[in-house]
Amino acid sequence: MSLLNLSPELLLLVASYVRQVDLLNVSLVCKQLHFTIEPELYREYSNPRLYTRSILPFLKKIIERPELAKHVRQVDLHEWESFDHFYPHMQNGRSELDIDRYRKEELTREEYYTLAETAKCAGVINAIDTYESSSLLLDKVESMSKDIAVHNSPSWYEHLFGNEVHFNDVPYDTKFCQLLRTGVEDAQVVLLLAMLPNLHEVFLRGGPHDVKSLEWRASHKFASLRKLTLCGETGDLAWPLGFYSFLLNTTPRLEQLRVCFGSSWYRNFGDSFPEPSSVVPLTLPPGSLSQLTTLQLKSCCLKINDLQTLIQACPELKSFYYYSGEDAQGPYGPSPAGMIRILEPLKDSLEELWLNLDTLDADLDDDFRIRSLTHFTALKTLDTSADMWEMVEDLDVLDPYRDEDTIEDSYRLCYRLPKNLQQLIFHLSAEQAEPSIGQIVDLVQMRHTMLPNLQYLCIATEDEEFHEELDEALSDDLNAMTAEPQPFEMTFDDDILVTVFDTVLPSRHQPDTRWYGNKYSVRYRKPTKLDRALDKIGEAYEAGYRGETLSDALADEPELAEVLKADHPSAEDPPEYYDTDEEVEMLG
């Protein structure tokens, strides 16, 4: 039986299980097959790479073929521009704005009214501004850019829409229409998401940079959303999770929320710790995210009250990951003990807990550290570092005169862990001290009584001396383990949770789907000058450079520095691609 003999409904069902690249090739077989499965070709819209493809063509396609909108279930978008990109400090090192670049991206009268009418129907705006022959917004920006003193002021945007009206008093419809008319992506992103009523998964690779970003509005209120991933490409540009309060308040079916480089405030390049005026609180009613089971917060620094709000909104949370990142993310984060207090409402239901907090101080008071987790009765997986716990660090490092063979009962780790625990992972502490060998030996020997379900213990360190000492201390126990009916494994691997952000960032390293030879194929792109420049900046950030000192990373390679100052960073030769995945692996 050929595919063409199947009903359209069954064909679409089969097509829904086929990879997009394979579906593209199948659609080339014949016109009838292409026509039938075409809706599934639109189930994913992926545009993750910065400075490559415009969103506008896809917008126009959905407007032209509105029946396709309901089939789009997944969106993956690169970072986009908003009002903040008119700020000279966002212009890749140039002292004044490149107005000509923005002039080239202005919409025509027909394009503007087509998109504006669609925005009105989608519930984004209520009224449409008249199309002007020249963008009033760009005219104002151009005049301001000639006065460097005005344009370099932190309050430069306050009278962006005229000297008589403050930015905050300008109606939303006017802001949206002016950005749309100018061709700035912020308005296009808001419109795109508002046009897609059946979105199940949204991946945004850039958070809003400041308070001037457009609020999301949509008549469908994202009621079908199941997975939401929000991130930035660098922690030096923090963005507030509170910006998405409206979205999170209207997503009753949301099951997974994953956030990278999120915070409780806006912060631009070079800014120090946030000012009170830049704080944007997260507002969520208790229990509002009733279907959320997975919450991952990587390289985030949320204020304690925002974390409390978020946790109280997730009564069914099963898996929680929190990594505070470097101290450059910002202040105000909770202590290890404080985080456990925040998680108290989930003590009878939370099953997986990964915590990596920047403790900032090696001499923390004991009430700053975790004392016990026995009240987390459902916990099966626990990943922490020794310095987050009271009396768990290697005492030979912290106090060479203490007798490590003697552990008071109240401090025995095996008495302070949840009884249902199946996996336990300890990482190197901030001062490079492993967990106390005496504590680990005691835990292994007492596991049958205190931790009867424990199957896996990982000490994440590469210290060979520690390995040898622990092996020697446990030699008899390790031999006995092989004869036990219940499996138990102990390793020294750096076994950490791999989040989605570890595999899809930076976006410029993601493969493209291209016409290659005689078919569509997924191919990795060879590094361009822009890629190399951004990689070097990323390496500098990881090495501890912050703010304006990041420019030092390219001081010895002026050719790469010039790429970032170009009128448009993508203005170079067309990209080249590797022939095979094996070639990519060989090059690392």
Domain boundaries, the chain: 1-43, 74-81+200-329, 83-183, 334-510
CA dihedral (89, 94, 96, 98) in degrees, to 10, reads: -110
Strands 519-523 and 512-516: antiparallel
d(CA 90, CA 86) in angstroms, rounded, equals: 7
Pick the most confident of 22-36, 174-188, 402-416.
174-188
Contacts of residue 217, Cβ cutoff 8 Å, sequence gap at least 6: 123, 124, 125, 172, 190, 194
One-letter amino acid identity for 103? R
pLDDT, tens digit, 9 for 90 and up, residues 408-467 = 667 788 899 999 999 999 886 655 566 778 888 888 888 888 999 999 998 887 778 878
- Which has more pLDDT, 137 or 220? 220
Grade residue 524 by pLDDT with cuts at 50, 70 and 90: confident
| Residue bearing tokens 């104002």 | 140
d(CA 47, CA 360) in angstroms, rounded, equals: 38
CA-wise closest residue to 446 among 421, 479, 413, 405: 413
Name the DSSP class of 279.
B
CA-wise closest residue to 222 among 240, 204, 241, 195: 195
Grade residue 553 by pLDDT with cuts at 50, 70 and 90: low
d(CA 549, CA 534) in angstroms, rounded, equals: 14
Residue 330, pLDDT above cutoff 60 = no
pLDDT, tens digit, 9 for 90 and up, residues 125-178 = 999 999 988 888 888 887 777 766 665 566 677 778 877 888 889 999 999 999
d(CA 99, CA 567) in angstroms, rounded, equals: 10
| Phi and psi, residue 220, nearest 5° | -80, -15
Q: Identify the CATH number of the domain defined by range 334-510.
A: 3.80.10
Residue 406, pLDDT above cutoff 90 = no
Contacts of residue 17, Cβ cutoff 8 Å, sequence gap at least 6: none
